[in-house]
Amino acid sequence: MKKMVILTGAGMSAESGISTFRDSGGLWEQHRVEDVASIEGYERNPKLVLDFYNERRRQLPTVKPCRGHELVAALEQHFDVTVITQNVDDLHERAGSTNVVHLHGELMKATSTLNPNDPRQIVTLDADHMDIHLGDKAADGSQLRPFIVWFGEAVPEIERAAYIASEADIFVVIGTSLNVYPAAGLIQYVPSHAPIYLIDPKEVPWNSLHRYHHIQKGASEGMEELLKMIVLKAWRNCSR
Ligand code: APR
């Protein structure tokens, strides 16, 4: 089976009702990123940061995967698919994707403030205990914090993601402004023979020499179009 790698960002979940970050009305217009999504912000005011993520987490049970998430999951019938997502929601998994790498962490997980990437400290929160409060402790006794990669922190999954990108036969980018590194740099690892498809309703400034096919649509409509293109290509190859 051919390897398809799908890099997703906030636009993937926009049609499910989760705000993007940098669009107008996006999260970073309502909150200062350095206050709620940086390690320094957490050290200055942990309660503000815990509350910000508690609110995001409480939204999860109220939203559902969109058609785009479902079509991404359905591709597993025809391709060896890995989703590399910058999103911290669980909508890819809930749509049925079985191979998801979360570059920026997961909202439904919590970890230790002292050793955030130690697997022994990472716990999954359940629907009855969604909030993290000041005073909640991780296994190592330090304050429990969201399992989120904040600005100023290393991205532990990036090497694995770069390797996965380097093995792609087809690479698809959905709903990311490609503003945030190292995630945005993954495209550089895509082999030159692999076609790159970009699904985003807006122009995305690519500062690379990469050739790509822009499907200028939202995630769901864009995925429908991508599927048609791929089926057509396979059919043309067969009839040669
Ligand atoms: N379908 C597809 N794409 C969409 C849709 C949609 N319905 N609506 C908006 N978009 C696109 C926007 O045009 C934009 O290019 O999604 C992109 C969202 O970009 P950002 O808000 O910058 O989100 P993202 O790229 O995921 O941000 C990366 O920044 O703050 C951090 O950690 C946060 O993981 C996040 C990272």
Looking at the fold, whether 175 and 229 belong to one and the same domain comes out as yes
| Backbone φ and ψ of 202, nearest 5° | -110, 165
What whole-number distance in Å separates Cα of residue 165 and Cα of residue 53? 29
47-62 pLDDT tens trace? 999 999 999 999 999 9
Q: Over pLDDT 90: what percentage of the chain? A: 82
- 208, two tokens: 């690379």
The pair phi, psi for residue 156, each rounded to 5°, is: -60, -30
Residues 96 and 115 in one domain: no
Cα–Cα distance measured from residue 107 to residue 152, given in angstroms and rounded to the nearest whole number: 18
User: Is any ligand 1 atom within 6 A of the Cβ of residue 150?
Assistant: no
Confidence category of residue 103, pLDDT binned at 50, 70, 90: very high
Going by pLDDT thresholds of 50, 70 and 90, the confidence category of residue 30 is: confident
Shared domain check, 208 and 95: yes
pLDDT at 102: 98
114 & 87 share domain: no
- The reply to whether ligand 1 has any atom less than 6 angstroms from the CB of 221 is no
One domain for residues 163 and 208: yes
The CB of 105 under 6 Å from ligand 1? The reply is no
Q: Does 209 have pLDDT greater than 60?
A: no
Same domain, 222 and 170: yes
Looking at the fold, whether 58 and 122 belong to one and the same domain comes out as yes
Q: What is the pTM of this model?
A: 0.95
User: Could you give the angle at which helices 67-74 and 219-239 cross, rounded to 10 degrees?
Assistant: 30
Span 104-160, pLDDT tens digits: 999 999 999 999 999 999 999 998 889 999 999 999 999 999 999 999 999 999 999
Nearest to 97 by CA among 60, 61, 77, 72: 72
Give 203's pLDDT tier (boundaries 50, 70, 90).
Answer: confident
Same domain? 49 vs 74: no
Q: Choose one of 31, 87, 200 to mutate for the ligand 1 pocket test, by most ligand atoms within 8 angstroms of C-beta.
A: 200
Q: How many domains does the chain have?
A: 2
**Lookup: tokens for 167:** 């093995």
- Is the same domain home to 29 and 141? yes
Domain of residue 210, CATH code: 3.40.50.1220
187/100 same-domain check? yes
Same domain, 9 and 82: yes
Which pLDDT score, from 0 to 100, does residue 127 have? 85
Domain span including residue 233 = 1-18+66-104+155-240
Which whole number is the average pLDDT over 14-23?
Answer: 93
Instruction: Give dist(CA 38, CA 42) in Å, integer.
Output: 6
Q: What is the pLDDT of residue 57?
A: 97
CB count, 10 Å around CB of 51? Answer: 16
> Looking at 148, 177, 212, which one is the last position of a domain?
148
Which one of the listed residues 104, 193, 210, 213 is annotated catalytic? 104
Classify 46 as helix, strand or coil: helix
Same domain, 42 and 78: no
Residue 84 CB coordination number (10 Å): 25
